[in-house]
Amino acid sequence: MEIRQISVIGAGQMGSGIAQVAAQAGFQVTLLDVSEAFVKRGMERIARQLERGVAKGKWTAAEKDAVLSRLQPTVQLEEAAKDADMVIEAVVEKMEVKTDLFRQLDQKCPTHTILASNTSSLPITEIAAATSRPERVIGMHFMNPVPVMKLVEIIRGLATQDEVYAIVKELAEAMGKVPVEVNDFPGFVSNRVLMPMINEAIYAVYEGVAEPEAVDQVMKLGMNHPMGPLTLADFIGLDTCLYIMETLYEGFGDSKYRPCPLLRKYVKAGWLGKKSGRGFYQYEGE
């Protein structure tokens, strides 16, 4: 099977990034979201990223225009589904939202279509069970920002066919990514390792071990991390961090994944990180 037409569901930061790298790899791409405003914002984000690449000499203006010509925005699920060889979902990280979407995609997509989820922590097997084609459902977890980060975790569900895995692996490579096969466990590898580190950094602040700046400095200078865990948490979104920690805690039932009370407190206060203007650091006016 050859992938020609890709549909990306969700035009936010992750979805628009996936759509961009797919179009840059030469695929015809449909980008869908629930409103014209969201799709327009996603397309504008892609155009800005491509314009920056032209300014830096990474590609020409003609190449930028060619990429944009391969992108088709829409708000109609039927339009995104009807000719898709592959659908990559990048909607909100909630199981009920994803399973409802996959149920609809299963009904509207051709029988050969592969359905992939960009979930960062939810079980692929459970998502696949909402469809009549669990053998053609797979996880494709891109890293943020998608145009920059090389890794893609590829997660097989219990029923995922070997052929589907091979196709998706080849697709990731065509997009310029490095695919890594991961088994279907909560948080996969990336967030199973990363989120407890972030959570422990939050505990260090909560327990008065050190201020956020000091925790981040220790990890940057002592462990050679490019960004401290609390700055990274602010960039990811503290609500997202909390949700993933809760997924790990519920999935494993192990107290080592218990979200720090300070993380819960910040989320309840609306201190979600950079996107809300305040998290462990202040971002007003940026």
Instruction: State the Cα–Cα distance between residues 250 and 130, nearest whole angstrom.
Output: 20
Encoded tokens for 122? 């939810």
Q: Is 98 annotated among the ligand-binding residues?
A: yes
Pairing of strands 151-156, 178-182: parallel
Of the residues 120, 121, 199, 276, only one is catalytic, namely 120
* Closest to 84 in 3D by CA, of 121, 48, 111, 104: 111
Check the annotation: does 14 bind a ligand. Answer: yes
Judge whether 79 is annotated as a binding position.
Answer: no
What's the number of CA atoms in the CB half-sphere (13 Å) around residue 199? Answer: 24
Active site residue 153: yes
For 71-100, b/e burial (b = at least 16 CB within 10 A) is bbbbeebebbbeebbbbbbbbebeeeebbe
- Active-site residue identified among 7, 89, 117, 153: 153
249 exposure class (CB count in 10 Å sphere: 0-12, 13-18, 19+): middle
The response to whether 13 counts as a known ligand-binding position is yes
Asked about 7 being catalytic, the answer comes back as: no
107 labelled binding-site residue = no
* CB-based burial label for 218 (10 Å; 0-12, 13-18, 19+): middle
Determine if residue 10 is labeled as part of a ligand binding site: yes
Residue 56 assigned ligand-binding role = no
The reply to whether 108 sits in an annotated binding site is no
d(CA 244, CA 145) in angstroms, rounded, equals 18
Is 120 labeled as catalytic in the residue annotation?
Answer: yes
* 3 state SS of 129: coil
d(CA 123, CA 126): 6
- 120 assigned ligand-binding residue: yes
Is 117 considered catalytic here?
A: no
Please identify which of the residues 7, 117, 118, 191 carries the catalytic annotation: 191
Query: What gap in Å lies between CA 31 and CA 7, rounded to an integer?
Result: 6
Catalytic residue among 117, 121, 141, 199: 141
Residue 208 assigned as binding residue: no
Cα–Cα dist 121/168, whole Å = 19
- 53 to 13, 46, 59, 148, 212: CA distances (angstroms): 17, 11, 6, 11, 34
Residue 69 marked ligand-binding: no
12 is in an annotated binding site: yes
Annotated binding residues, written as ranges, equal 10-15, 33, 93, 98, 120, 144, 275
Annotated binding residues for NAD(+), written as ranges, equal 10-15, 33, 93, 98, 120, 144, 275
Known catalytic residues?
Answer: 120, 141, 153, 191
